[in-house]
Amino acid sequence: MNALIAATLLLVGTLFCLVAAVGMLRLPDTLIRMHAATKAGTLGAGFILAAQAVATGELGTTLKVIAVIVFLLLTAPVAAHLIGRAAYHRGIQLYKGTWIDELDMAMKKDCGETGSQGTTHSAPPEN
């Protein structure tokens, strides 16, 4: 029974990692790609690590897997935020479908500029 659970977790983890890889290739800019890399990639790695814990069935391995998963869940969002912020400050081009730039608004607010409503890039999507 453990082998079946481990195989299922491994398959689910592999699918999440595949989604992350496809997202990295298909999504249009760095700020959007970081979501695929961190969310799907972290879930995929977590499921693969959980499969290892179930397959071995040892307490030591399970504790190590739990520690690694917690570490991933704590560090991946911070890393994604820093990568996105660094890319933004380097001047990457935002996707043409981005219609409001909230970081630009926050930076202008911190600098004391008034009257700014942020940089709009195109019209918002119509529903």
Q: What predicted TM-score, i.e. pTM, was given to this entire model?
A: 0.74
pLDDT of residue 102: 73
Say how far residue 125 (Cα) sits from the centre of its chain.
Answer: 23
pLDDT of residue 115: 47
Find the Cα–Cα–Cα–Cα dihedral 106, 109, 114, 120, rounded to 10°: -10
The tens digit of pLDDT for each residue in 79-122 reads 988 988 888 888 887 788 777 777 777 777 777 765 444 454 55
CA distances to 9, 10, 24, 81, 82 from 85, rounded to whole Å, are: 33, 33, 18, 6, 5
Q: Name which residue leads in pLDDT, 46 or 83.
A: 46
pLDDT at 77 over 70: yes
Residue whose structure tokens are 């977590």:
46
Q: Name which residue leads in pLDDT, 95 or 68.
A: 68
pLDDT of residue 85: 85
Calculate the average pLDDT of the chain: 85
Q: Are 83 and 34 in contact (CB under 8 A)?
A: yes
